[in-house]
Structure 1
């Protein structure tokens, strides 16, 4: 039975989530459509850019991503504490980067708030709290992301209608083991799909971006900025109607700055960081990537990467999980004790993936 989104995404349970959004029917997000022969490869950049732009507006950080031919994956962290720390005006500023908002809100941001009466000020305070909740809401993040990409794709194809499936899929990541497994699953998607041989060759994935960042590019300063960065937003006429929930047009959204990916921090001193060392994670992805190629046996034969030992994860089961995460687990991923606790919190008797969790995250002593 389908459960309401509020029951599946709860920051009280975990701030970490793996989400997947897929195109409807034969629609192509990117790649080449064998049926029509048309290439949509350039749309991969749309997704990566828009995800990073929205991460700079919402209180949501991106740990991993992979853009495939007809779907994309994200591993992200919702930072509700950050949203609570924003001032009223900061909340209004962020929200109006995406939506026009009421005229009174625009007047406040224009420095004319002292001209408003007390009742209007109270209304603005209430709107700000509504916007604050939305800016740390996964459903709102996905709504804005998918709507803006659908607009661009439909405009390019000169069609109308639905571009995405009705609901994005989400998995709650309940512990460090789950976060690590989901990130590896996402970063290795192109290898699993025979689209790349190595992590650094898997275009439009977070691991390839992180590896590329380690290599200095001497031509970076000479390279011209992208057209989107140079474009000037088109300001709507003053008489245009203002709709609180109407997304701004692409000309307004394109210049939004890009938020970098979450950093790695093995010391766990940073709240908004991935709790591993990057070199350990890279070793794990490299080892697992070699194992899940079609011409390889599914085992890490040379040595067990340090992260698997540290988190007590069975190597061979981990490889299987890195290819079948969506099939083996349902709406949550984690160690058996954490899945059991989530069952109690959701008041359900069972969560799909308990057997897989016992196999992967309860490593037996040799």
Structure 2
């Protein structure tokens, strides 16, 4: 009840192809924008002077960067929560303890481990007994919609095994992921209070992980990886790139 976990995908390539109008419309869902950006999204075809066009392009460039920036995403997510909590508690001041922590998920193994860790958080905290009863989780939303025969439009969809043409989404099968969450939740974690019973899941073999490797990555996810997560060879490539980037800078 005092923190959130978010598995976030930033589609920077898609954002590069947004039109000026799309950028302004997206930003206006969060903020009023400027008089020029409001004119851009008005029903009438706007006409700008050269000076106004330069100013508008500068503004839209800032909006485009913010719309793909994780720090701005967390700011937009946390601010209304803090405002509502302070209003309910009739107090002022900081609601969140400190700045958010983020980790780069470098491959599908790390992504699956992080998703399972997040989806099982209420169970580990003994706030729920099963994934389908875990309030405010993606797994509950997915199960709810899966029973109706579709996937949530507000979450990244599961698209299964790689195929051509490949739609954008999670490279896992939704049913296998549900089994994986259930299996992982049945494994006891000495540092957590809650757990559910044990079963088997074929997704471990599909990801190329044995049970011990999976448990090590998933059960201690928050403490094992401070900046990035992934398999050893992926982490080595990531560290090399970071060193090269730092040396150039």
1:172 corresponds in structure 2 to 104
2:85 matched residue in structure 1: 153
Q: Secondary structure at the match of 1:160?
A: coil
Match of 1:266 in 2: 160
Which one of 209, 212, 225 corresponds to residue 144 of structure 2?
Answer: 212
Q: Does residue 138 of the first structure (1) align with residue 34 of the second (2)?
A: no
More strand per residue: 1
Give the CA deviation at 1:292: 2.8
- 1:314 CA drift (Å): 2.3
Superposition pairs of residues 304-315 of structure 1, within 5 angstroms: 305-315=201-211
Q: After superposition, give the CA deviation of every residue in 1:231-277 in whole Å (9 maximum; x if it has no partner).
A: xxxxxxxxxxxxxxxxxxxxxxxxxxx95211101134545311100
- CA shift, 1:322, in A, is 2.5
4+ residue stretches of structure 1 with deviation over 6 A?
Answer: none
Instruction: Give me the TM-score of the superposition, normalised by structure 1.
Output: 0.60
- Greater alpha carbon shift after TM alignment, 186-195 vs 169-178: 186-195
Unaligned runs of 5+ in 1: 1-68, 218-257, 349-366
1:88-237 matches, cutoff 5 A: 88-111=20-43, 114-216=46-148
- Provide the rounded CA distance (Å) in 1 between the counterparts of 2:153 and 2:144: 17
Cα 1:302–1:200 shift into 2, 3 Å: closer
Q: Which residue of 1 aligns with 2:247?
A: none
- Work out whether residues 192 and 323 of structure 1, in 8 Å CA contact, stay in contact via their aligned partners in 2: no
SS at match of 2:113: helix
TM-score (norm 2): 0.86
Aligned to 1:322: 218
User: How far apart in 1 are the matches of 2:100 and 2:19?
Assistant: 31
Deviations 1:55-113 (A, max 9, x none): xxxxxxxxxxxxxx211111121111121121101101111221122212222222566
In 2, distance between residues paired with 1:302 and 1:154?
Answer: 43
| Cα distance in 2, alignment partners of residues 301 and 190 from structure 1 | 18
- Alpha-carbon distance in structure 2 between the residues aligned to 1:110 and 1:302: 56
